[in-house]
Amino acid sequence: MASAFLLSLLLLVICSHGGIAQANEAAAGHKESRYVVVPKAAFQSSEESCSTSRVSSPQSGRVSVPLAHRYGPCAPLQTKDELSLAQRLHRDRVRTKYITRRMSRSTRRQSSDASTVSVPTRLGSSYDSQKYLVTVGLGTPAVPQTLVLTTESDLSWVQCKPCNSSNCYPQKLPPFDPSRSSTYTAIPCDSQECRDLAAGIGGNGCTSNWECGFYIYYGSGANTTGVYSSDALTLGPGAVVENFHFGCGHDQEGPFGNEGKYDGVLALGRLPESLVGQTLAEHGGAFSLCLPPTGDSTGFLAFGAPENTSDFVFTPLLTMDDQPWFYQLMLTGISVGGQRLDIPAAVFREGMILASSTTITALQDTAYAALRTAFRSAMAEYPLAPPTAQLDTCYNLTGYNNVTVPTVSLTFRGGATVDLDASSGLLLDGCLAFWNTDGDEYTGLIGSLNQRTIEVLYDLPASRVGFRTGAC
């Protein structure tokens, strides 16, 4: 009797599960989808060669640059990651804490009164975990430069000659040589541009040649210093930013070396010194990033806002007084398998930084605990595996051909709801790619993994951020 009851209960569970999977197929793409069946192979891209069929681009009419994961076969520089997953996660966590701790005591308001923000004196981001690369042209004639992309800082820079081996980390191609560019100029120390740099981020006085000095310090301990400069930046055919201001780095110190090989950093933060701020006239202060699902595919960086935004959902962009360079959003809810988690609204009050160079999403402790419980319950049929570094919800998927994962959605202020991509945007090496902030009083951070395949539109003039799923 008891065993018959158990059997029918079991059948009921199996049947309802099958029912969900079918409903899910029928309602594909709808917010009501609760579970997605993912072939396990989709979690493990072969990563052997760059698949040109998986190159994505934004809607036509926009200038765009392909974007690749730093270590995948589509990366413009073929380098190996010398760090283990645990080491990378450790760095990611240190970086997250560094960013979110500094944020927590700030007061926030809508960016509409951004004209009154107090300007910080230093860039506050670590270098270690920056993950995506773009190749652009610098100078005349244009020399290809492979740069690490970041939305978390504002002043772009490249390694420049003269730069001897004790002052520059090794890179694949020779450092940029200003003397070979007909359009290069060092910005003079007595210029308005230099005064602006000194009043904001990255100023470093005058060099011995009366040129404008810059200095950037990253949370990891790395730093770069050199001459604030101007030259032509080529983003794509016919898309040249004349007089692009950047740092010509003559002295890079600290932990750049092991992960080096790239030529510098392309900064897309919110301050006027960033590429976004410098191309207001051409691109109106809007750009999109679509981070590719795997290393063997490419995403895109696109400039300007798309003409048709009907496929996007939008949420307001927030600004902090003390760190106005970060893009910040207000998360209001999380759903797992279609069920909204019961998390008090106050838990989210410190907001979330939208990050592109940090991998794992950090949620306030109460929110993370609720997510973990719901996710584990939805994945109860799969055996848990030991934690990987600080990721504590890991699965041993050996022997499964398909994995049925619950849809995880994030809802932001205004009701914008975004389904994370089940095969690339949820799990890292079999582990739920979220962790806690170590306190509800801290700001959270939306990591790059959750953003995979989603076009994220940063629309500064409209003070909003848009999301379009399935975009790359």
Ligand X SMILES: *[C@@H]1O[C@H](CO)[C@@H](O)[C@H](O)[C@H]1NC(C)=O
Out of 82, 281, 308, 342, which residue is the one contacting ligand X (CB under 6 A)?
308
Q: Which residue is nearest to ligand X (CB)?
A: 254
To the nearest whole angstrom, how small is the minimum distance from the Cβ of residue 173 to ligand X?
A: 20
DSSP 124: -
* Cis peptide leading into residue 324 (ω within 30°): no
Does the protein bind ligand X through residue 221 (CB under 6 A)? yes
Among 29, 237, 238, 399, binds ligand X (CB under 6 A): 399
Could you tell me which stretch among 259-267, 355-363, 393-401, 421-429 binds ligand X (CB under 6 A)? 393-401
469 binds ligand X, rule: CB under 6 A: no
Beta carbons of 418 and 410 less than 8 angstroms apart: yes
Q: Per-residue x/- marks for ligand X, 109-148, CB under 6 A?
A: ----------------------------------------
Beta-carbon contacts of residue 38 (< 8 Å; ≥ 6 apart): 402, 403, 404, 405, 422, 423
> Could you tell me which stretch among 1-9, 160-168, 191-199, 459-467 binds ligand X (CB under 6 A)?
160-168
| Bridge partners, residue 443, by sequence | none
Distance CA 81, CA 78 (A): 10
Quick check: 223 binds ligand X (CB under 6 A)? Answer: yes
Residue 46 one-letter amino acid:
S
Exactly one of 396, 414, 461, 470 binds ligand X (CB under 6 A); that residue is: 396
Question: How many whole angstroms separate alpha carbon 368 and alpha carbon 437?
Answer: 9
Applying CB under 6 A, which part among 66-74, 93-101, 161-169, 320-328 lies near ligand X? 161-169
- Binding ligand X (rule: CB under 6 A), the pick from 18, 19, 39, 439 is 39
Q: Does 3 bind ligand X (CB under 6 A)?
A: no
| Chain mean position to CA 240 | 25
Q: Does 253 bind ligand X (CB under 6 A)?
A: yes
**Which range, of 50-58, 306-314, 363-371, 406-414, touches ligand X by CB under 6 A?**
306-314
> Do 231 and 186 form a contact (C-beta atoms < 8 A)?
no
Stretch that binds ligand X, among 21-29, 175-183, 267-275, 395-403 (CB under 6 A): 395-403
Residue type, 394: C
Tokens of 193: 């541009």
Among positions 115, 118, 164, 179, the unique one binding ligand X when judged by CB under 6 A: 164
Cβ closer to ligand X: 53 or 164?
164
Give the whole-angstrom CA distance, residue 416 versus residue 464: 11
Separation between Cα atoms, residue 11 and residue 150, nearest integer Å: 50
To which H or E segment does residue 103 belong? helix 85-103
Is 311 among the residues that bind ligand X (CB under 6 A)? yes
Residue choice 10, 19, 402, 461 for contact with ligand X (CB under 6 A): 402
Residue 182 binding ligand X, by CB under 6 A: no
For residues 150 and 287, the answer to whether their CB atoms sit within 8 Å is: no
Judged by beta carbon, residue 192 or residue 310, the one nearer ligand X is 310
- 192: contact with ligand X by CB under 6 A: no
CA distances from 6 to 1, 15, 377 (A): 9, 14, 19
Segment near ligand X (CB under 6 A); pick from 241-249, 289-297, 367-375, 399-407: 399-407
Stretch of 9-17, 312-320, 398-406, 422-430 lying at the interface with ligand X (CB under 6 A): 398-406
Q: What DSSP element (H or E) covers 288?
A: strand 286-290
3-state secondary structure 392-438: CCEECCCCCCEEEEECEEEEECCCCEEECCCCCCCEECCEECEEECC
For β-strands 444-446 and 352-354, DSSP reports them as parallel
The verdict on 179 binding ligand X (CB under 6 A) reads no
Q: Which residues bind ligand X (CB under 6 A)?
A: 37, 39, 164, 166-167, 217, 221, 223, 253-254, 308, 310-311, 385, 396, 398-399, 401-402
